[in-house]
Amino acid sequence: MYIHKTNCISAQQTFGNIDLQTLAPAVENKLFAKEPVYEGVPPGMLRRMGRAVRMGVGCALPLVKDQQPDGIIIGTANGGMEDCIKFLNQIMDYEEGMLTPGNFVQSTANATAAQLGLMTANRKYNITHVHKGLAFENAVLDAMMLLKENPGFNLLLEGLDEISTYNYNIDYLDGWYKEDLTANAGLYNVDSKGTMAGEGAAAFWVSDQPERALTKISAVQQLHTEDVAAVSSFLQHFVKFHLPEGTSIDILIAGENGDNRYRHYYEAAYDLFDTATIVRYKHMFGEFGTSAALALWLACQPAFPAHAIKQRTDADPKYTLIYNMYHKNQHGVMLVERL
C-alpha cells in the first residue's frame, strides 16, 4: 500500500509550514494539539464540532478536496469522548428532558468519518475502527485488504484521538500518567512511572499504485501479550518474514513513552535492531491510542529532528520499522519502505 499525500495535526508544528526542530513544551504533562485555522469547513458546522472531530475533519479535508476517495477508514481509541460526557451530564442535569443533540452526534466514535462522508457527499466505503491502542493498526490492515480486493482504489486513511478530561482522569488514577510535572524534552531521562498525555490526527491518501508515492507500507501486524520474550520473538519473525532477503531495518521508530515500568519492551527492540537509527516520538506528540498514526506520518518526512534521535547510524534509510506498545499488552508494528 502506497502513501501519496499526508497531513498531521499535533502538539508540534506539523500542519502547514512544518517545523520539527523546535520542540513545543508540554502543559501540565499534557501535549495539546495546535489546531490550525480550518479552511473549507462552514463556521456553523465547525462551531458544533467537538475537538476530536475538528482535528479529524480539518486534517483530512485538504487531502480529499481535489478527488473523492473510494473509501474512508479511520482508527480511534476513544472518539469524541469529551462530547459524550457532556451529553451524559445533560441527561442528569435535565432529567432526560430537553437535551442538546449536538453533543450526542459529535460523541460517537464514527462522527469524524461520518462528517467527512457528508461534507464530500461520499456514499462509498466508510468505517471506523475502535480498538484502543491498536485502532490505527486495524485501520491500516483494513485499507490494505480493501486495496487487495479492489485494485485501483484510492482511500483516505486516518488515525486520531483527543485528550478528554474524563479519559485523562481515569488513566491518571490508573497510574498511566506522571504525577510530577515533567518537561517533555527530558521525558526519557526521568526514571519514574507514567507518561504524558497527547492528542492529534494524521491522515493519509493511499492506493496500490506506486506512481508519485512518498512511502510504501509493506506490512502491519499486532500482538496482545505482557511477555517481553514473546514481543522479541514477534518482532524477529515479523522482520524475517516481511523484509527482503539480504536487507535489514535501517530506522526503528519506537513508541517509548518514559514509563520506566515498560521500558524493557523497547529495550528488547533496541537490542534486536542495534545497527539501525533509533527515533522516538512521544516527547513530541504524547501518549494516546492512535499515536502510531503520527509515527507513520513521521516516517514519511524527509528527515527527523535531532531531539528525536536516540541513536544515529550511517545506514541508507530505506526500511523503517514502527513499533508501538500501548498500556503494556497491545503491541503494533508496521514496516515502511522509503521510495
For 228, phi then psi, to 5°, come to -65, -30
pLDDT above 70 coverage of the chain, percent: 92
Record the cell numbers describing residue 324, joined without a space: 508501538
Q: Which CATH superfamily is domain 2-207 in?
A: Thiolase/Chalcone synthase (3.40.47.10)
In 3D, which of 325, 312, 324, 218 has the Cα closest to residue 274?
312
Dist CA 4 CA 223 (whole Å): 28
Interval 187-205 mean pLDDT: 97
For 4, phi then psi, to 5°, come to -105, -40
Asked if residues 215 and 336 have their Cβ atoms less than 8 Å apart, the reply is yes
CATH of 215-338, one of 3.40.50.720, 3.10.450.40, 3.40.47.10, 3.40.50.2000: 3.40.47.10
In 3D, which of 9, 10, 20 has the Cα closest to residue 307?
20
CB atoms within 10 A of CB 118: 12
Dist CA 299 CA 219 (whole Å): 14
- Which residues, including other chains, have CB under 8 Å from residue 98's CB and lie 6 or more apart? none
Mean model confidence pLDDT for the chain: 93
**Can you give the pLDDT at residue 43?**
87
Record the cell numbers describing residue 183, joined without a space: 518537561
Dist CA 85 CA 50 (whole Å): 12
* 51 vs 238, higher pLDDT: 238
Helices of type H across 154-261: 165-173, 228-242
Asked if residues 280 and 306 have their Cβ atoms less than 8 Å apart, the reply is no
**Can you give the pLDDT at residue 40?**
85
Predicted confidence band at 81 (pLDDT cuts at 50, 70, 90)?
low
**Can you give the pLDDT at residue 99?**
67
The one-letter code for the residue type at 208 is: D
CA 124 to chain centre: 24
Q: What is the DSSP string of 52-75?
A: HHHHHHHHHHHHHSSS--SEEEEE
Domain residue spans in the chain? 2-207, 215-338
Interval 289-315 mean pLDDT: 96
Residue 241 pLDDT > 70:
yes
CA 297 to each of CA 170, 194, 202, 300: distance values in angstroms, whole numbers, following the listed order: 28, 25, 7, 5
CB atoms within 10 A of CB 295: 28
* pTM reported for the whole predicted model: 0.93
In 3D, which of 266, 270, 255, 276 has the Cα closest to residue 320?
276
Asked if residues 171 and 195 have their Cβ atoms less than 8 Å apart, the reply is no
Same fold across 2-207 and 215-338: yes
Beta bridge partners of 31: 198
For 173, phi then psi, to 5°, come to -65, -25
CB atoms within 10 A of CB 308: 18
Q: By mean pLDDT, which of 20-24, 51-55, 229-233 is the weakest? A: 51-55
For 246, phi then psi, to 5°, come to 85, 5
